[in-house]
């Protein structure tokens, strides 16, 4: 059975890598290569490929946007391609969706192709499309959260990537953002800022403290039901007894058992 494939990635090197590996597969025909989402969307609708390698992090129109525009009826078998983006990988893994993280090995590429062949042969099961849409829905929700915050500094404004923040401290009607050795102040309440941050990346451990989950090094029992959160920077933050649900979520995300 011949498999017609499209390669969609805004990076020429990435397209070349996928094409080089596909040319070693006798039954796969490369029907086209595209470097932007709009061209890819038009080509998928026109060429009706069996398989698409789709980069999710393209400018203007992302791979997620392309998939959403196609809908369940038009989206072919798809292997999503990404530079490491933790939330994308978590969503794909949780829903058993085929993906590749750049740069990928031949072995990882072959594993993705084996799953694609099974799916095209009807062995993927009826739940496969539903899993794809569940993963994409999770990613679209993540996109709605703030990725950068405008911070006033000495009469100018810098755009601070939220992933760089270690923890956030309440300071009356403002918040202090702790980033390595630097501290920035933002005129916003903790409650308002918390709404703008992804709960997959940030968790409130106390009424006056929000932590970046990726910065957590350890969580230690303290006394009277409290816990102590230790960050990779060495910062220690006491967790409120009333944040028990947050504690369980932190432990789960860190791969431990409460």
Q: Which tens digits make up the pLDDT trace of 101-131?
A: 888 899 999 999 998 888 888 765 555 677 7
| 3-state secondary structure (DSSP) of residue 29 | strand
Q: Got the DSSP string for 171-195?
A: ETTEEEEEETTEEEEESS-HHHHHH
Residue holding tokens 């392309």? Answer: 66
Tokens of 65: 């946007």
Closest CA to 37 of 62, 19, 54, 16: 62
Residue 256: its pLDDT value, please? 45
Give the residue from 126, 144, 162 where a domain finishes. 144
258 in Cβ contact with 248 (< 8 Å): yes
CA 95 to CA 24: how far, in whole Å?
Answer: 29
Beta-carbon count within 10 A of 106 CB = 9
Considering the domain architecture, whether residues 98 and 133 belong to the same structural domain is answered as: yes
Considering the domain architecture, whether residues 103 and 181 belong to the same structural domain is answered as: no
Residue 225: its pLDDT value, please? 67
| 3-state secondary structure (DSSP) of residue 98 | coil
Q: What is the pLDDT of residues 177-203, one digit of tens each?
A: 999 999 999 989 898 899 889 887 898
Q: Which residues of the chain have pLDDT under 50?
A: 256-258
DSSP state of 240: P
Alpha helices in 1-123 (DSSP H): 12-22, 37-47, 63-74, 86-94, 106-120
Boundaries of domain holding 81? 3-144
Considering the domain architecture, whether residues 8 and 134 belong to the same structural domain is answered as: yes
Q: Give the CATH number for residue 235.
A: 2.40.50.1020
Considering the domain architecture, whether residues 116 and 165 belong to the same structural domain is answered as: no
What's the number of domains the chain is made of? 2
Residue 239: its pLDDT value, please? 85
- Any domain includes 258: no
Residue 258: its pLDDT value, please? 42
CA 23 to CA 172: how far, in whole Å?
Answer: 61
Considering the domain architecture, whether residues 154 and 132 belong to the same structural domain is answered as: no
Give the residue from 93, 128, 144 where a domain finishes. 144
Give the residue from 84, 111, 144 where a domain finishes. 144
Considering the domain architecture, whether residues 26 and 137 belong to the same structural domain is answered as: yes
Residue 83: its pLDDT value, please? 83
Full-model pTM: 0.62
149 in Cβ contact with 160 (< 8 Å): yes
């Amino acid at each position: 059975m011949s498999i017609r494939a499209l390669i969609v990635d805004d990076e020429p090197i990435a397209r070349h890598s996928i094409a080089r590996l596909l040319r070693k597969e006798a039954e796969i025909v490369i029907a086209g290569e595209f470097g932007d989402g709009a061209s890819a969307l038009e080509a998928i609708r026109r060429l009706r490929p069996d398989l698409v390698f789709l980069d999710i992090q393209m400018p203007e129109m992302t791979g997620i946007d392309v998939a959403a525009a196609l809908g369940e009826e038009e989206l072919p078998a798809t292997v999503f391609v990404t530079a490491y983006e933790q939330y994308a990988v978590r969503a794909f893994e949780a829903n058993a969706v085929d993906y590749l993280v750049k740069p990928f090995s031949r072995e990882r590429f072959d594993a993705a192709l084996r799953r694609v062949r099974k799916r095209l042969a009807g062995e993927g099961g009826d739940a496969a499309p539903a899993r794809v849409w569940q993963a994409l829905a999770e990613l679209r929700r993540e996109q709605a959260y703030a990725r950068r915050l405008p911070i006033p500094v000495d009469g100018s404004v810098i755009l601070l990537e939220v992933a760089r923040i270690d923890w956030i401290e309440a300071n009356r009607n403002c918040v202090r953002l702790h980033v390595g050795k630097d501290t920035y102040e933002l005129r916003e309440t903790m409650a308002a800022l918390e709404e703008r941050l992804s709960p997959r990346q940030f968790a409130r451990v106390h009424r006056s403290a929000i932590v970046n989950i990726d910065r957590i090094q350890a969580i230690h029992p303290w006394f009277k039901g409290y816990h102590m959160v230790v960050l990779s920077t060495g910062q220690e933050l006491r967790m409120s007894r009333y944040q028990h649900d947050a504690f369980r979520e932190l432990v789960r995300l860190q791969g431990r058992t409460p």
